[in-house]
Structures are given as structure tokens and as C-alpha cells.
Amino acid sequence: MPGVSVEIDPPEVGLDPFRLASIGRHFDRYVENRRIPGFLLVVTRGGKVAYVVKSGHRDLENGLPVEADTRFRIYSMTKPITSVAAMICYEEGLIALDDPVSKFIPEFAETRVFTGGSSFQPVTVPVLEPIKVWNLMTHTAGLTYGWMFKHPVDTMYRSAGFNWETPPGLDLAGCCRQLARIPLRCQPGTEWTYSVATDVLGRVIEVAAGQPLDEFFSERVLRPLGMTETSFYLEGEQAERLAVLYSPDLFTARATRATHMGEVALRRPIAPLGGTGLVSTAADYHRFTQMLLRHGELDGVRVLGARTVSYMTRNHLPGGVDMAHFVDPAGDRPEPGIGFGLGFSVVVDPAAAEVTCSAGEYGWGGAASTEFWVDPAEELTVLFFTQLIPSSMYPIGRELRQLVYSAIVD
């Protein structure tokens, strides 16, 4: 069965096998209590897979187990792939980080900024500086998400049809034109606001490269890396390997089938979203993380230059601050000690993060509680896949770091 398999004895790469096994036992309790349906975890060190564990079900109701080749909705773990695609365009001179987004999507030249009022009668002002490609990649564009429920502009997104899906019938170009008509939450470059920015970046790639986003992904990222199981949707026999999407029951917190949201991955999208749209496997995303760990190259194929990967994975927030010091205080406060690069979170202060990690570690997670990170200092990569939405239900990422770093004994 295709998938990721162990390649080296853990002690050979400084990992304690008994401590690694405790990771599986810890998350088995999540499965036993039906907090998550199942999971698949991969830990590598020095470029070698040292630990793989899978548990539970990809389909609880039909008793189908998580398999090595199970496909998972990776939601926002799509963002780093889109960011890599954008930097391919950057390396070829098709885009520059200081390019105004309006160069590629003219409607953004007219975007205004919310300063008061309500979602029905907003008070707006012109932007002081245009949104740049750099703002999209660092989530400092002033855009938002409709599902956040924190700000009047979030409400305006939902009213326009941008919640967990896009407005019916609109392709990516149409979505971006409509987003450009909605005010920004703040002036570009003044706050870190998690948003549809990477979806807009996908449209920038389309215009710059002169081809649809899914085709560019396939030709320039997925096929060169051998990521043959990653796509924007599944059909036929492929769909049988897709894990069911679950959400916590309101009263019991037990994983309950989220049928409507789950079926989105079974339809070809009119608007392929670079921020949330991909379905993938552990084996495929493992190849993506190994390319990053190897500074842009894998199996003799170079996707990005080494200096480009280094530049993407450093903290880009102004003044070197972490996200906790660069957000709207009325919104959720991201964990301190964590900055943001070009498509990745970046650890800038492990002590402030209050969990074991390394300075320079980078990664991100997805809405269905998936998680990954790359730690260049330890030559470590970690992948965790499950299908429980939202990801904020349990502190899976923090617990995973505690357990993984405790297993490093050299």
C-alpha cells in the first residue's frame, strides 16, 4: 500500500523509540473518547522517516480505518504550497514582493478601509498605501475571513457569500473582483489579520503566469515533487480514499459527521482556492516538507533556490515582532513568540511561545486539525493528519510539540 513508511531506526537519528510510542498512545486517547475520528502521524529526522503511527477511522460510521494512503482535506496547509508557487513566479521575475496587487487585479486599486459604522453602513477611507504582494504573503493586507465573527467587515464577507465557501458561480477572478469591493479591516501593513489573502495570491499567480492556478500547481510544484495524490477535488475511485470530515457535537463534543462541508472536496471547484482548497496524503505532504528541509530541492529536482526558502521562512513582521504584538487587540491573540514569514508561521522566541520548540522552526496547520512543521536546527519534520473541524477545539499542535521534542535525546 503506498504511503510513508519508517526508513531508519529512531536511535540512529537521536530519537527515543519508547518516547515516540507515547505520542501514539496520547492521541489514541483522543480516538478512544471519539474527540477525533482517527489520525496519521509522521516524524522524520535528518531526512529519514523515523516514526509513523496511524489509528482510528477515516469513516467512523462504516468502520473504515485510517490507511497509509488516506486522503485528507488539508485546508490552510494549502497556503504554504501557494506561497511556494508565488515564489517560483518571483524567482522568474513574473512578480515582485513590492508589486501592488492592483497590477494583477485592477479592482484592488479602488479598495477602501473600514473606520467605523456598521456592516450595513460602513464608514470608509482610502488606503494610505496600496496592498502589495508582500502583504498577501504575510497576512498584513487588511483582508479577513467571513467565518471569524469578530469585526463588521467579517459580516460583510458573509453577506457577500464568503464564509467557508465562495459565492456560487464565481471563478477565482470573479471572487477577487468582489473581495476588492469590500472594505479592508485595517490599513495595509498595520496589523496581522488572518484572511483570504492567499486566495487572492492564487489569482495573482494566475495572471502573472498566464495559466489557471491548478495547472500551475501541477506543472511547477506537485508533479516535479512527485506529489501525485494532491489535488483540488476527488472523483471516482479516488473519492473512496477520502477521510470523512467531522465536527464536535454541541453537547457531547464527540466527532459528528459534517456532511455538507465534507462533500465540497468531491466537486471540481469553479474557484480553486490557494488558501484552503487542496486534498492530500501524508506521503505527498512529506515530500513537500522534505523539499523545504533540503532548501528547495528533492531527489535532484530543484523547485526553489536555497536562499529563497531561507528568505520565506524568516520572520517578516515589521520590527521582528511576534504576531501577538501585531494583531487587533479586539480579536483572538495569537500565541506569543511566533512571527510570520512568507506563507509560514516562524518561531522567533521559544521561551515566549511557552512550548518546547526551536527558534527558526516554521510550519502551519489546517482547519480540520491537521498540522505540520519543519525544524531546520534539529533537521526535524512532523506531520499530523486528522479530520475534525474546527482546529481550535483541541490544543493538538502544542501537545504534539511537547511529545515530539521530548523524544529527542541526542
Alpha-carbon gap, residue 343 to 83, rounded angstroms: 5
pLDDT in tens, 251-264: 999 999 998 899 99
| Residue tagged 496547520 (cell numbers) | 365
Domains recognised in the chain with CATH numbers: 10-84+214-406 (3.40.710.10), 96-208 (no CATH)
SS (H, E, C) the chain: CCCCCCCCCHHHHCECHHHHHHHHHHHHHHHHCCCCCEEEEEEEECCEEEEEEEEEEEECCCCEECCCCCEEECHHHHHHHHHHHHHHHHHCCCCCCCCEHHHCCHHHHHCEEEEEECCCCEEEEECCCCCEHHHHHHCCCCCCCHHHCCCHHHHHHHHCCCCCCCCCCCCHHHHHHHHHHCCECCCCCCCCCCCCHHHHHHHHHHHHHCCCHHHHHHHHHHCCCCCCCCECCCCHHHHHHECCCEEECCCCCCEEECHHHHHHHHCCCCCCCCCCCCEECHHHHHHHHHHHHCCCEECCEECCCHHHHHHHCCCCCHHHCCHHHCCCCCCCCCCCCEEECCCCEEECCHHHHCCCCCCCCEEEECCCCCEEEEECCCCEEEEEECCECCHHHCCHHHHHHHHHHHCECC
Alpha-carbon gap, residue 279 to 68, rounded angstroms: 15
| Residue tagged 458573509 (cell numbers) | 158
pLDDT in tens, 13-30: 999 999 999 999 999 999
Judge whether 14 and 45 are in contact, CB under 8 Å: yes
Alpha-carbon gap, residue 166 to 242, rounded angstroms: 22
pLDDT in tens, 387-409: 999 998 999 999 999 999 999 99
Most distant pair of Cα atoms in the chain: their distance: 63
- Residue range 340-352: average pLDDT? 97
Q: Does the pLDDT of residue 298 top 60, yes or no?
A: yes
| Residue 333 banded pLDDT, cuts 50, 70, 90 | low
- State the pLDDT at residue 1: 46
Sequence-distant (≥ 6) Cβ neighbours of residue 352 within 8 angstroms: 322, 336, 337
| Residue 331 banded pLDDT, cuts 50, 70, 90 | low
Please report, rounded to a whole number, the percentage of residues in the chain having pLDDT higher than 70. Answer: 98
Please report, rounded to a whole number, the percentage of residues in the chain having pLDDT higher than 90. Answer: 93
Judge whether 185 and 145 are in contact, CB under 8 Å: no
- State the pLDDT at residue 141: 97
Q: Residue 297's Cα: distance from chain center in Å?
A: 21
| Residue 327 banded pLDDT, cuts 50, 70, 90 | confident
Look up the pTM and report it. Answer: 0.96
Q: Does the pLDDT of residue 234 top 60, yes or no?
A: yes
Judge whether 145 and 154 are in contact, CB under 8 Å: yes
The sign of the dihedral angle between the CA atoms of 42, 381, 199, 388 is positive
| Residue 332 banded pLDDT, cuts 50, 70, 90 | low
- Residue range 303-319: average pLDDT? 97
- State the pLDDT at residue 335: 80
**Average pLDDT value over all residues in the chain:** 96
- State the pLDDT at residue 330: 59
pLDDT in tens, 159-190: 999 998 899 999 999 999 999 999 999 999 99
